[in-house]
Amino acid sequence: MDADERGDGVDLQRVGRRESGRASGVGRRENLSQDAARHIRDLILSGGLRPGERIDQDSIAADLELSRLPIREALLILESEGLVDNRARRGSYVAAITPDDIRDHFEMYGLLSGLAARHAVGALGEEEIDEIEQIAKQIGVSQDPEKQDQLNFRFHQLINRAGSSRRLLLTLRMLSQAMPTHFFDYDGTVAARSLEEHSEIVTALRDRDADQAAEAMRDHFQSVGAIAVDMLKSSGFWDDTTVT
């Protein structure tokens, strides 16, 4: 996915030290809120926090060495994404996310990524398509899940940036923020499936077949959505013991 969609990596253990070591300001506070939102979002989408579970703001603030203010602002961000319910005088809770919510989210992302792929057909040069193809092959042979994630990121980044308007990129970014990640850690078969699906996308790009490129991209994210549901199920995300 596009680098602009996911944002730069951040060492969350240093966030608090940066907060105390720099002058305060609205812009800096917004960055801290985004950092905290990313951390809480990852907890939710990895199964660390489950639907209906109360979010311990004090614990998260202590873990990230932050004050309560950026945590509260982060929870407002996550509420706008549909991941958190903020209840007056009762606290914040993980929203009642369902498997259909996850599938629909990836379906929507796939439709927009398909639009980007359609546009990329006319925008990418042969050398750029060669690079995309090589990245797809490296994902298939790598044994390092972190490296596979990075390569997968770059694969979609090149296509999205070539084929998206500013408005489309902004919308893809918004949707991508509320999507589970780390699929290559979850299942060893993901890399092989990724290679096959990515290869179909590359073939469509090389053939300059806009319809097929869009369809292959949509199918790919439908497949990823199904993996995301399986991954969350395996983590116990929807166990009957979930707090309500």
Would you tell me how many other CB atoms lie within 10 Å of the CB of residue 15?
Answer: 19
| 179-191 pLDDT per residue, tens | 877 788 777 788 8
| 56-80 pLDDT per residue, tens | 999 999 999 999 999 999 999 999 8
Domains of the chain: 3-94 (1.10.10.10), 99-234 (1.20.120.530)
Q: Cα separations (Å) of 33 from 12, 19, 63, 64?
A: 12, 11, 14, 11
Per-residue pLDDT tens digits of the chain, which is 244 residues long:
443 444 332 232 333 333 333 444 555 656 899 899 999 998 998 888 999 999 999 999 999 999 999 999 999 999 988 899 999 889 999 999 999 999 999 999 999 999 999 999 999 999 999 999 999 999 988 889 889 989 999 999 999 999 889 999 999 988 888 887 778 877 778 888 889 999 999 999 999 999 999 999 999 999 999 999 998 888 888 875 443 4
pTM for this entry: 0.78
Q: Which two tokens stand for residue 177?
A: 């923020």
CA distance 46 to 58: 20
CA distance 158 to 137: 15
Q: Cα separations (Å) of 200 from 107, 151, 205?
A: 18, 17, 9
15, 170 contact by CB (below 8 A): no
